[in-house]
Amino acid sequence: MNVKTADLCDKYIEELEVCMLPFQSYGKAKRFAGPISTVKVFEDNVLVKEALQTIPEGHVLVVDGGGSKRCALMGDMLGEIAVERKLAGVIINGCIRDSAELGKMGIGIFAIGTNPRKSIKEGKGENEIPLTFGDISWHPGDYVYCDEDGVVKSKRKLM
């Protein structure tokens, strides 16, 4: 992706929502964009894995993990699935693990932190629903743009 979030803000600020969460970048791709698919979970990554296995190529999976830092919702094995399926990226309101390995993978990964502890595996949560975190209303099918400066969301594809 060659589009910069700063340029999008300069041109389309009235159409954008700017995320206020302090995400860290963990994937090799520092810039990524695409249509949004969503998952809402809490300390359980079963639906995260299912979404990574089923959402369309080029999508960005937005995961609302409730901001929990008590365990990771994604690690290297899920990262490999995302890369193999050619997803644009993953944004997690929660933690990842295996950060060194994820940092070598050609995908964008934003999360609020790391934790070596794995999540529970009960399959609880919801997918493809509207989410709200970071001062953004995340809707499936909207577009997200991510880079070193931050994350912005639009109801339509801008570039």
pLDDT at 139: 98
**Using 50, 70 and 90 to split pLDDT, how confident is the model at 159?**
confident
What's the CA gap between 98 and 76, in Å, rounded? 6
Distance CA 58, CA 82 (A): 10
Give me the phi and psi of 92, to 5 degrees please. Answer: -125, 120
- Stated pTM of the model: 0.97
Q: Please report which confidence band the pLDDT of residue 3 belongs to, taking 50, 70 and 90 as the band edges.
A: confident
- Tell me, what's the pLDDT at 1? 63
Q: For residue 125, what are the β-bridge partners?
A: none
How high does pLDDT run on average in the chain?
A: 97
**Structure token pair of residue 16:** 């954008």
Distance of alpha carbon 56 from alpha carbon 2, whole angstroms = 21
